[in-house]
Structure 1
Amino acid sequence: MPELPEVEALAGYLRERAVGRRVDRIEVAAISALKTYDPPPTAAAGRAVVDAGRHGKFLDLVLDGGLHLITHLSRAGWLHYREAFAAAVPLKPGKGPIALRVRLDDGSGFDLTEAGTQKRLAAYLVTDPTLVPGVARLGPDALGADQATFAERLRGRRGQVKGVLTDQEVLAGIGNAYSDEILHTAKLSPFAITNRIPDEKMAALYAATHEVLGDAVRRSLGQRAAELKGEKRSGLRVHGRTGLPCPVCGDTVREVSFADSSLQYCPGCQTGGKPLADRRLSRLVR
Structure 2
Amino acid sequence: MPELPEVEALRDFLTAHAVGRRVERALPVAISVLKTYDPPLDALAGRTVTAVGRYGKFLDLDADGLHLVVHLARAGWLRWYDTLPAAPPRPGRGPLALRVALSGGAGFDLTEAGTRKGLAAHLVHDPALVPGVARLGPDPLGDDFGRDRLAALLSGERRQIKGALRDQSLIAGIGNAYSDEILHVARMSPFKPVGQLTDEEVTTLYEAVRTTLADAVERSRGLAAGSLKAEKKSGMRVHGRTGEPCPVCGDVVREVSFADSSLQYCATCQTGGKILADRRTSKFLK
Which TM-score tier does this pair reach, normalised by the shorter chain?
over 0.9
The aligned runs of 1:99-248 (5 Å cut-off) are 99-144=97-142, 145-248=145-248
* Counterpart residue number, 2:69: 70
Question: What SS does the corresponding residue of 2:104 show, helix, strand or coil?
Answer: coil
CA displacement, residues 192-219 of structure 1 (integer Å, 9 cap, x when unaligned): 1112111111110000011100000001
Contact 2:274 2:285 in 1 (8 A): no
Contact 2:15 2:51 in 1 (8 A): yes
CA displacement, residues 11-66 of structure 1 (integer Å, 9 cap, x when unaligned): 000000000000000000011010001000110000000010100000001110x1
Could you say if the C-alpha distance between residues 263 and 81 of structure 1 is closer, same or farther in structure 2, counting changes exceeding 3 Å?
same
Contact 1:157 1:170 in 2 (8 A): no
What code does the residue aligned with 2:270 have? Q
Question: What SS does the corresponding residue of 2:164 show, helix, strand or coil?
Answer: helix
Kindly state the Cα deviation for residue 142 of structure 1 after the two structures are TM-superposed: 1.6
* Counterpart residue number, 1:9: 9
Question: What SS does the corresponding residue of 1:33 show, helix, strand or coil?
Answer: coil
Does the alignment pair 1:253 with 2:269?
no
Kindly state the Cα deviation for residue 95 of structure 1 after the two structures are TM-superposed: 4.6
CA–CA distance in 2 between the matches of 1:214 and 1:156?
A: 27
Contact 1:25 1:44 in 2 (8 A): yes
CA–CA distance in 2 between the matches of 1:142 and 1:156?
A: 19
CA–CA distance in 2 between the matches of 1:156 and 1:224?
A: 42
Contact 1:60 1:69 in 2 (8 A): yes
When normalised by structure 1's length, the TM-score is 0.97
Does the alignment pair 1:92 with 2:90?
yes
Question: What SS does the corresponding residue of 1:32 show, helix, strand or coil?
Answer: coil
Q: Which stretch of the first structure deviates more once superposed, 90-99 or 205-214?
A: 90-99
Question: What SS does the corresponding residue of 1:230 show, helix, strand or coil?
Answer: helix
The aligned runs of 1:24-103 (5 Å cut-off) are 24-64=24-64, 66-87=65-86, 89-103=87-101
CA displacement, residues 70-91 of structure 1 (integer Å, 9 cap, x when unaligned): 100011000000000120x432
Contact 2:278 2:284 in 1 (8 A): no
Q: Which runs of 5+ in 1 are unaligned?
A: none
Contact 1:23 1:45 in 2 (8 A): yes
What code does the residue aligned with 1:101 have? R
Contact 1:70 1:123 in 2 (8 A): yes
What code does the residue aligned with 1:80 have? R
When normalised by structure 2's length, the TM-score is 0.97
Contact 1:24 1:105 in 2 (8 A): yes
Moved over 6 A (4+): none
What code does the residue aligned with 1:128 have? D
Kindly state the Cα deviation for residue 254 of structure 1 after the two structures are TM-superposed: 0.3
Q: Which stretch of the first structure deviates more once superposed, 135-144 or 263-272?
A: 135-144
CA–CA distance in 1 between the matches of 2:205 and 2:99?
A: 39
Alignment identity in percent? 64
Q: Which runs of 5+ in 2 are unaligned?
A: none
What code does the residue aligned with 2:83 have? A
Contact 1:191 1:284 in 2 (8 A): no
| Matched residues, number | 283
